[in-house]
Chains A and B, each alone.
Chain A
Amino acid sequence: MSSIVSYGSYIPRFRIRTEDIAKEWGENPENIKSGLFIHSKSVPGPDEDVLTISAEAAKNALRRTDLDKSKIGAIYVGSESHPYAVKPTSSILVEALGLSYDIHSADYEFACKAGTAAMQNVMAMVDSGQIENGMAIGADTSQGAPGDALEYSASAGGTAILIGKNGFADFNATLSFTTDTPDFWRREGEKYPSHGGRFTGEPAYFKHVLTGAKKMMERMGTKPEDYDYAIFHQPNGKFPTRAAKMLGFKDEQVKDGLLTPYIGNTYSSSMIIGLSAVLDKAESGDRILGVAFGSGAGSDVFDMTVNDRVKSLKRERAKGVMEQVNNPIWIDYATYVKYRGKIIMRGA
């Protein structure tokens, strides 16, 4: 059975408050905060992208384990903001992390669930005996068009999950649910994504998240109260809170994995950065349900149980998620548009 051997996240330090975005567009920030339940979001520095964020997340994962790096047989990076259209992020990471050149590597794309798609492939390779360990990364520097609702949520961050045998959190099962649903997309060559407004709710997010979670609980014969933690894809703070309530989960099962109110939607890292925050505190015997959603649309669901090996996990060797969340550098809207390339600069 495959399991989580180590994990690590990285959140850029720059943050912008909802108030600072709202005032530029004549919106009432209180309406945005109560409507989307987002108070601030992370912003990548001008020298950060999916490669640098993935590298820092992966380095945090490697710091927490004494695993010989040469025993990592695959590295996959899921993102919708890879630095190159053609030239894999994952191959640069092989060199940046000092991994063996005898390694499977690829970049994945499935909106916000590309990172969990990568996890499932690594799990399959470990379970089949093709590799001993593999790393799956979900990272993004997501874009929202100026003035669009997405500008309040589209943020940056990354999480790396190192999967192998004899880890500290066992995967009891995983499943996916996929349909052709055009709720959110970005055409080739376009800078900003488009979305279907309210269509992103019921037929997209809720249908796939609720169906995936229900199918998993049906397969495993579990109920919401059997889980100590539940993490849902979090495009804003409102959707996952409502989905949890509709499924019968209580606030205390969900709160530790809900980060969007503070750092925004990290897209391909969205659910797994919540998982990373939960793994920062989970104890032996804790059962975790993780439901990722990707527009287009599909959900990836994971049922996990933390085992006794968590006691020897070297968590303190890397910064935890909340430690990073609570270490912001606040910027204003002018700095934000400069850093995100929303103003045209000569030679930049």
Chain B
Amino acid sequence: MSEVPRFWRESRHRYRLVGTRCTNCDTLYFPPRVICPTCRRESVGKMKEEEMSGAGEIYSFTVVHDGLEQFKMQIPYVMALVKMKDGPFVTAQIVDCSPEEVKIGTKVTATLRKVRSEGKEGIIQYGYKFTICP
């Protein structure tokens, strides 16, 4: 049960792709940052939470044939680097498709899915994955 507090602290970011924008240099970060790595002390108190639209495109991807035990049911599955329309890059699973359907530049949209669970008794961790836009 050790992951409960950490997961809970990050849940809104994982559920809704909430990042932080540095209002000093107008850069959006995901995962959220407490201070802007560019503006540093100038950004203190100027980082604002912002929800991304969920739209993006595949920047690069790989097909996983020997995955983690909890993802065994979904092999082969696609893990991709998604360039979000809002700016940041996000690493995520692409679901509801075969690997042949995924190409660099394919438009995708975020969807909420189960990511993992702590056995049958622990909490279920939900988060973003992506589906291909029709």
Binding site for B on A (CB under 8 A): 13-14, 45-49, 51-52, 55-56, 83-84, 87, 92, 95-98, 327, 329, 338-339, 345-348
Contacts and interface: CB of A to CB of B under 8 A. Distances in A.
Given A47-B113, A56-B111, A96-B112, A84 B73 contact: no
B126 A98 contact: no
Contacts of A48: 113-114
Contacts of B69: 346-348
B126 A52 contact: yes
B96 interface: yes
A327 B114 contact: no
Given A45-B95, A52-B126, A95-B15, A347 B113 contact: no
16 contacts: A45-B95, A47-B95, A47-B129, A48-B113, A51-B112, A52-B111, A52-B112, A56-B111, A84-B124, A96-B16, A97-B16, A98-B16, A98-B51, A329-B97, A347-B69, A348-B69
Contacts of A46: 73-74
A149 B123 CA distance: 33
B12 interface: yes
B124 A83 contact: yes
Contacts of B15: 92, 95-96
Interface residues of B, number: 23
Contacts of B74: 46-47
Interface string B105-133: 00000011111000000011010010000
B62 interface: no
B37 interface: no
A346 B120 CA distance: 12
Interface string B82-119: 00000000000001110000000000000111110000
B72 interface: yes
B59 to A, nearest CB: 22
Contact of A51 (B12, B111, B126): B126
A214 B111 CA distance: 42
Contacts of A45: 95-96, 113
Contacts of B113: 45, 47-48, 52
A320 B71 CA distance: 31
Interface in B32-74: 51, 69-70, 72-74
Contacts of B70: 347-348
A46 B77 CA distance: 12
B27 interface: no
Nearest to B18: A98
